[in-house]
Structure 1
Amino acid sequence: MSAVLRPLTGATALVLVYYLLPLNKRFEGSAAVGLVLGLAAVAALFTWQIRSILRSSRPRLRAVEALATTVPLFLLLFAATYYLLDQSGPGSFAEPLSRTDALYFTLTVFSTVGFGDITPHTEPARIATMAQMVGDILLVGVAAHVVVGAVQSALARGSADGR
């Protein structure tokens, strides 16, 4: 049961933090640096999680936990960026963004559904959206490949060790 609760609790906590953080700062240089540092933190977390999968006696479970933390963190980082962008420059998007609207837009971009109801209008908003699109491709393609490879490697190691 804890195998299901831990990832669910972690993802829920991340969403709560997103809604509770005082995001009232303008998207200026410091916020852009925050996005870059946040992406670096996501990459560092992902690297640490891959190492954890490789050492784990239950690599499949660790892989689920890793993805249940990394993906929401990545998406919430972009949602916060979009929210701050809109706060600093009304008109950055087709409509004013609440935190929920920013998260909705982030998930729409991530899923490539693209309803078109919220669209980036300014260059900074379009640059952030393009950065998310590239990150989405990397997260889905490369990260999934790395996680699967780590699980397979850990399972092979476990078989060789007689587990």
Structure 2
Amino acid sequence: MTDDLVVSGRRAALWAVARSIVVSSGLVLAYYLLPMDAPLNGGTVTGLVLGLLAVTALFLWQVRAIARSQHPELRAVESLAAVFPLFVLLFATSYFLLERATPGSFTEPLTRTDALYFALTVVSTVGFGDITARTETARVMTMIQIVGGILLVGLAARVVVRAVEAGRRRRDPKDM
């Protein structure tokens, strides 16, 4: 029986890793393949706000799924593998569209890869300084990403850990 549980746990872990890779890769692939011809205007800013709300809703749904999961730790990894790339790609898209709409918003023109690079350096707080926001709009968007990244890493990590603990208590009430 114990060997069956170990094999079952390993299988669940492999599937969780595979799903995480597929989801993250699919999001990046969509970022590069989806047409981004719309100018940055009220509609695209609304899209950014709706996207942030969607990331929040996805995160809250994932927290609930973690707490109810048979393997809450694995579900937490899968959740973060979906929410974090979506957050970064949402800002990369916004930066790319902003630079297309208002050339000179950044210290150099942004390709999709440059925009993704900038979004990753902002969220990781590395900030190499090779690309910086020059316009007020670009700086405001960057500040929103910084605050969102801090909340995602700090607050969201705490919420995910609590959800994992709740899932463990639900699964093994006698062990807690």
Partner of 2:81: 68
Q: Give the structure 1 partner of residue 119 of structure 2.
A: 106
Opposite residue 122 of structure 1, the aligned amino acid is T
1:2-17 superposed matches below 5 A: 2-17=15-30
How does 1:78-117 map onto structure 2 within 5 Å? 78-117=91-130
For the pair 1:33 / 2:18, whether they are aligned, the reply is: no
TM-score under structure 2 normalisation?
Answer: 0.90
Does 93-102 or 108-117 show the bigger shift? Answer: 108-117
1:150 aligns with 2:153: no
Using the size of structure 1 for normalisation, the TM-score is 0.97
Deviations 1:75-121 (A, max 9, x none): 00000000000000000000000000000000000111111110001
- In structure 2, what is the Cα distance between the partners aligned to 1:87 and 1:161? 58
Distance in 1, Cα, partners of 2:110 & 2:44: 17
Counterpart check, 1:130 vs 2:146: no
- Distance (Å, rounded) in 2 between the aligned partners of 1:135 and 1:58: 28
Instruction: Give deviations 1:62-86, integer Å, cap 9, x for gaps.
Output: 0000000000000000000000000
Q: 2-side partners of 1:84 and 1:24: how far apart?
A: 8
Give the equivalent residue in structure 2 for 1:21. Answer: 34
Deviations 1:109-144 (A, max 9, x none): 011111111000111101100000000000000000
**Residues 24 and 87, structure 1, Cα contact 8 Å, conserved in 2:** no
- The amino acid across from 1:14 in the alignment is L
Alpha-carbon shift at residue 161 of structure 1 (Å): 6.5
- Residue identity matched to 1:10: V
Asked if 1 retains the 8 angstrom alpha-carbon contact of 2:133 and 2:142, the reply is yes
Structure 1 runs of 4+ with >6 Å offset: none
Q: Unaligned stretches of 5+ in structure 2?
A: 1-13
Q: Which has the larger radius of gyration?
A: 2
Q: What is the percent sequence identity of the aligned residues?
A: 59
